[in-house]
Amino acid sequence: MIGRLLSSVLFAISAVFIGSCSSDKSCTENMTSTMNTGFYYWSKLNGTISLKDSFVSGIIIRGINQTDSFFYNTGTDKSFKKISLSLPQLNDTALFIVNLNSIWMDTLHITYKRKSVFVNYNCGFRSEFTLDSAWFSAHPKDSIKITQRYVSTSIQENCKIILFRDFGVQQ
């Protein structure tokens, strides 16, 4: 008798549960992996050399062979401590023309490996990258340093661009 009662109750609960389920098909995840890059400069103060944050305005960045569109064109009224760059998904090399306030103009080379990473069944897959190397054409090799090779949707900094002086205005 108790068994029959329990069985009936459970059947009713199951029916309510089934009826209340819905499948939401929208993707709420961030699907774009970006290489987070911060600006720094070497500060000499009282004989001590240390790496300090730099805030840069007038940033213009364009991908090579992407003539029609700028990646960044910030204007000069606002300064930035960091930028986020997305990487080509069909190649293993990215080339950016970087113009920082018309003082630092150079081509940034980045080499990397890409892989497809499953997120979930609403969002599908996204590209994530492992950085191999980064350098500027004209500036010294140590003017860019990779600090975190794995590029995903994390906000963690991947690269430091180390400027020869602080030419930004801190805001």
Residues forming contacts to other proteins in the complex (CB under 8 A) are 3-4, 6-7, 10-11, 14, 18-19, 21, 23, 25, 27, 31-32, 63, 66, 69, 71, 86-90, 94, 116, 118, 121-127
Q: Select 60 or 88, whichever has its Cβ closest to other proteins.
A: 88
Q: Select 4 or 44, whichever has its Cβ closest to other proteins.
A: 4
Decide: 165 and 43 in contact? Cβ < 8 Å.
Answer: no
Q: Select 21 or 45, whichever has its Cβ closest to other proteins.
A: 21
Would you call 53 exposed, middle or buried from its count of C-beta atoms within 10 A (0-12, 13-18, 19+)?
A: middle
Smallest gap from Cβ 49 to other proteins, in A, equals 36
Smallest gap from Cβ 142 to other proteins, in A, equals 27
Smallest gap from Cβ 68 to other proteins, in A, equals 11
Q: Is 3 left (phi over 0), alpha (psi -120 to 50) or beta?
A: alpha
Smallest gap from Cβ 162 to other proteins, in A, equals 25
The amino acid at 116: S
DSSP element (H, E) containing 72: strand 72-73
For residue 6, CA distances in Å to 1, 12, 13, 17, 78 come to 9, 10, 10, 16, 67
Name the token pair of 57: 């305005």
> Phi then psi for 161, rounded to 5 degrees?
-95, 120
- Longest C-alpha distance within the chain, in Å? 89
Q: Select 57 or 63, whichever has its Cβ closest to other proteins.
A: 63
Q: Select 40 or 96, whichever has its Cβ closest to other proteins.
A: 96
Smallest gap from Cβ 111 to other proteins, in A, equals 15
